Amino acid sequence: EVHLVESGGGLVQPGGSLKLSCAASGFTFSSYWMTWVRQAPGKGLEWLANIKHDGSAKFYVDSVKGRFTISRDNAKNSVYLQMNSLRAEDTAVYYCARLKYGSSRHTDDWGQGTLVTVSS
Amino acid sequence: DIQMTQSPSSLSASVGDRVTITCRASQDISDFLAWYQQRPGKVPQLLIYAASTLQSGVPSRFSGSGSGTDFTLTISGLQPEDVATYYCLRSNSAPWTFGQGTKVEIK
**pLDDT higher than 90, residue A102:** no
Task: Please answer yes or no on whether A62 and B89 come within 8 Å at the CB atom.
Answer: no
pLDDT tens by residue, B40-81: 999 999 999 999 999 999 999 999 999 999 999 999 999 999
**pLDDT higher than 90, residue B1:** no
What is the count of residue pairs from A and B with beta carbons less than 8 Å apart?
63
**pLDDT higher than 90, residue B97:** yes
B91 chain-A contacts, CB cut-off 8 A: 104-106
Q: In whole angstroms, give the CA distance from residue B40 to residue B38.
A: 6
- What letter would DSSP give residue A109? E
Q: In whole angstroms, give the CA distance from residue B54 to residue B61.
A: 10
Pairing of strands B102-106, B84-90: antiparallel
User: Which chain A residue has its CA at the smallest distance from B35's CA?
Assistant: A106
pLDDT value of residue A104: 87
A37 chain-B contacts, CB cut-off 8 A: 44
